[in-house]
Amino acid sequence: MLGTPIHQTAGAGQGEVLFGCGCFWGAEKGFWRLPGVVTTAVGYAGGQRDNPSYQQVCSGATGHAEVVRVVWDQARVHFSDLLKLFWECHDPTQGDRQGNDRGSQYRSAIYVSDSQQLELAQASRDAYQQLLTDAGYGPITTEIAGGRTLWYAEPYHQQYLAREGSRPYCSAQPSGVLLGDFPGASYQLAPEVWSHYDWRISHCILRGDNAPIKV
């Protein structure tokens, strides 16, 4: 979708992070549409087995979560922009499930690449928790950690929703609560970018275009 290899290494001026927000098909589309994202890919992280298969991950025996690898241009988009999309695109209070998908592979997770990302992820979680509590939601269950290896998923999973004949599916159940300012936040994306995501609409991700957002 972005004209870049999914295995592309993050270069100078680029950041890399892994996000788990339920089924990785819909989650990946949400991130590849953001301006400033260089490449996305889906895979498995946070478990114990090397190079697991989809069937092994789905069994729950490997401990891996389905994740989206996001590489972005730090001159165009700040990590806090990515965190905004992460928190808003799913319900991080559901534990080992997201919507109708149940199992530890669907847990909410942020696997960071450095200490600055860790600090921002934790600060955004704390701010979002207060907003969720005010809206009547329970505690956030998101796992936030560093040092997790990504194992790329099988080719047929990569950018799945852009594939001809793909089954339009996304299990995410966004809360509708929007993340605002938090310590360390430095949003760079224009406000109109967020008009392309309307979490009040069921399966908003599926209804939007596949093409990256242009502003």
pLDDT over 70 percentage in the chain? 100
Establish if 53 belongs to a structural domain.
yes
pLDDT confidence of residue 215? 84
Q: pTM for the complete prediction?
A: 0.97
Question: In whole angstroms, what is the distance from residue 57 CA to residue 27 CA?
Answer: 17
Establish if 89 belongs to a structural domain.
yes
Owning domain of residue 115: 14-159+171-198
Establish if 47 belongs to a structural domain.
yes
pLDDT confidence of residue 17? 98
Give tens-digit pLDDT for 17-29: 999 999 999 999 9
pLDDT confidence of residue 194? 97
Determine which one of 21, 23, 89, 204 is catalytic: 23
> Which tokens hold the place of 28?
């990946």
Mean pLDDT for 171-176 is: 96
Give tens-digit pLDDT for 67-106: 999 999 999 999 999 999 999 999 999 999 999 999 999 9
Establish if 164 belongs to a structural domain.
no
3-state secondary structure the chain: CCCCCCCCCCCCCEEEEEEEECCHHHHHHHHHCCCCEEEEEEEEECCCCCCCCHHHHHCCCCCCEEEEEEEEECCCCCHHHHHHHHHHCCCCCCCCEECCEECHHHCEEEEECCHHHHHHHHHHHHHHHHHHHHCCCCCCCCEEEECCCCEECCHHHCCHHHCCCCCCCCCCCCCCCCCCCCCCCCCCCCHHHHHHCCCCCCCHHHHCCCCCCCC
Residue 115 predicted with pLDDT over 90 = yes
Question: In whole angstroms, what is the distance from residue 128 CA to residue 87 CA?
Answer: 8
Mean pLDDT for 126-130 is: 98
Crossing angle of helices 79-88 and 115-134, in 10° steps, is 40
Give tens-digit pLDDT for 32-73: 999 999 999 999 999 999 999 999 999 999 999 999 999 999
Establish if 23 belongs to a structural domain.
yes
Q: C-alpha dihedral over 128, 31, 115, 130, to 10 degrees?
A: 0
Residue 119 predicted with pLDDT over 90 = yes
Q: Any idea what the CATH number is for the domain that residue 110 is in? A: 3.30.1060.10
Question: Contact, 54 vs 42, CB < 8 A?
Answer: no
Tokens 């310590």 locate to 183
| Nearest in space to 214 (alpha carbons), one of 196, 199, 188 | 196
23 has catalytic annotation: yes
Mean pLDDT for 148-176 is: 96
Question: In whole angstroms, what is the distance from residue 50 CA to residue 169 CA?
Answer: 27
Average pLDDT across the chain, whole number: 97
Mean pLDDT for 159-170 is: 94
How many domains are contained in the chain?
1
Establish if 72 belongs to a structural domain.
yes
Establish if 114 belongs to a structural domain.
yes
